[in-house]
Amino acid sequence: MRLLILLSIFLQIANTQRSRMMRRSTEILRDLDFSEIVYSVHIDNVGSLIARAEESNNRIKELREPSEFKSIVGTFPRYDEVVAWMNETSQLYPDLASTFSIGYTVLGRPMQILKLGLNGGNKWRVWMDAGVHAREWLAPTTAIYIADQLIQGYVNSDPEVLNYLSFLDFEILAVANPDGYEFCFTDDRLWRKNRRPITTDCTGVDLNRNFGFEWGGVGASANPCDNTYMGPYAESEREVLNIINHVLPESQKYIWYMAYHTWGELFFTRWDYTSDVPPDHVERLDLAQRTVNAINQVNGEIYLAGTAPELMYAFSGSSSDWSRGTANINYPYLVELRDSDGSYGFVAPPEEIIPCGAENWAGAKIILNDIIANYGGTTPP
């Protein structure tokens, strides 16, 4: 018996090690330009994956009850549907929700924020951005799922959620790259950058290489045709400037900056650009570890906690590094959501939306509880 248990523990460890190694090799290829090569090799697979996910998404949208209030939870919504949902939420629950735009994209779309919080006054803030990379569709849906959990908790008077909402204001930028996101629906499901024309042949800047902290270093390209093009200079992109101009003037009020990406099931503490770590690394890593443990409890998915250079690869000019390095926000995290091995990679089927949202809502609660334990009873400067 004891031998069997030991054997099974050994096998589990061996499996984890193996999947980590598999992960590393696929991921090194994953987000860089190589992904184009990988995808063209497997073009048939990806093509049918995209077609199946699209069909399933349309079916789910059609099956929803026609009602006054159109919930978008559980689908991959178009950008207009996201904005309409934010608008309707703020009309339905004026004490809880409001929306505003932090500015316009290159193609003139408003970058719409859903703000959730109770009681007003001088409150600490949480920032969430998702979909900075256009094709990472599980990121917006996860931010929307978390927003919806806050809304449902308010509607049902859940004491834990009411406590979060009374203490904090949540600012949720569910689609941080609306032009790129829409381009995925209309032209190219695997588009990553924004849609600013750069040269006659090449379009778009990688917004998560364009932030001004440690801009232009490792993991960023100076070639406008590359998928990781960092832009002509730091903070050259409107979408990036809109975020910075909103967060930075009152950055001392923000406790938690959360960036949602896919894929890999990795929860990153700082830094993305170097394997050096900030002075509070032990505390930040401990919270990340507790977060991935809570995520694991929901559906058994194994997210790893650590830094990007350690678990994936280093990259510079990210919003998450900026949030710590420039804006000095205490809880700066980036998560790579499902999946772990790239079976579907960026092209998640809609059946993944709810389980991915649910596990990351459980993770978010760990961070929120930690914030309340450390900041409860205080107000921001």
Ligand X SMILES: *[C@@H]1O[C@H](CO)[C@@H](O)[C@H](O)[C@H]1NC(C)=O
Residues that bind Zn ion (CB under 5 A): 133, 136, 261
Minimal distance, residue 35 CB to Zn ion, in Å: 11
Answer yes or no: are the C-beta atoms of 184 and 191 closer than 8 Å: yes
Instruction: Give contact residues for ligand X (rule: CB under 6 A).
Output: 80, 83-84, 87
Q: Which is nearer to Zn ion, 99 or 177 (CB)?
A: 177
CA distances from 137 to 101, 182, 284 (A): 21, 11, 27
- Report how far residue 102's alpha carbon sits from residue 246's, in angstroms, rounded to the nearest whole number: 7
What three-state secondary structure class fits 38? helix
Q: What is the DSSP string of 280-337?
A: THHHHHHHHHHHHHHHHHHH----EEEEHHHHS---SS-HHHHHHHTS--SEEEEEEE
Q: Which is nearer to ligand X, 48 or 91 (CB)?
A: 91
Q: Which is nearer to Zn ion, 261 or 270 (CB)?
A: 261
Return the one option of ligand X, Zn ion, none that residue 80 interacts with (CB less than 5 to 8 A, by type).
ligand X
Minimal distance, residue 75 CB to ligand X, in Å: 16
Minimal distance, residue 82 CB to ligand X, in Å: 8
Return the one option of Zn ion, ligand X, none that residue 83 interacts with (CB less than 5 to 8 A, by type).
ligand X
Catalytic residue among 182, 301, 336, 359: 336
Cis peptide before 215 (omega within 30 of 0): no
Minimal distance, residue 261 CB to Zn ion, in Å: 3
Q: Which is nearer to ligand X, 30 or 246 (CB)?
A: 246
Q: Which is nearer to Zn ion, 111 or 371 (CB)?
A: 111
- Active site annotation includes 160: no
Show the tokens assigned to 164: 């979060």
Residue 137 backbone phi and psi in degrees, to 5? -65, -25
Return the one option of ligand X, Zn ion, none that residue 133 interacts with (CB less than 5 to 8 A, by type).
Zn ion
Q: What is the DSSP string of 195-258?
A: --B-SSS-B---GGG-SSTTTT-TT-BS-TTSTTB--SSTT-SHHHHHHHHHHGGGGGGEEEEE
Return the one option of ligand X, Zn ion, none that residue 261 interacts with (CB less than 5 to 8 A, by type).
Zn ion
- Report how far residue 200's alpha carbon sits from residue 43's, in angstroms, rounded to the nearest whole number: 26
Minimal distance, residue 83 CB to ligand X, in Å: 4
Q: Which is nearer to ligand X, 84 or 218 (CB)?
A: 84
Residue at shortest CB range from ligand X: 87
Minimal distance, residue 67 CB to ligand X, in Å: 16
- Report how far residue 130's alpha carbon sits from residue 138's, in angstroms, rounded to the nearest whole number: 9
Return the one option of Zn ion, ligand X, none that residue 56 interacts with (CB less than 5 to 8 A, by type).
none
Return the one option of Zn ion, ligand X, none that residue 26 interacts with (CB less than 5 to 8 A, by type).
none
| Pairing between β-strand 254-262 and β-strand 266-269 as defined by DSSP bridges | unpaired
What three-state secondary structure class fits 164? helix
- Report how far residue 306's alpha carbon sits from residue 24's, in angstroms, rounded to the nearest whole number: 14
Give 39's strand partners. Answer: none
Provide the annotated active-site residues: 336
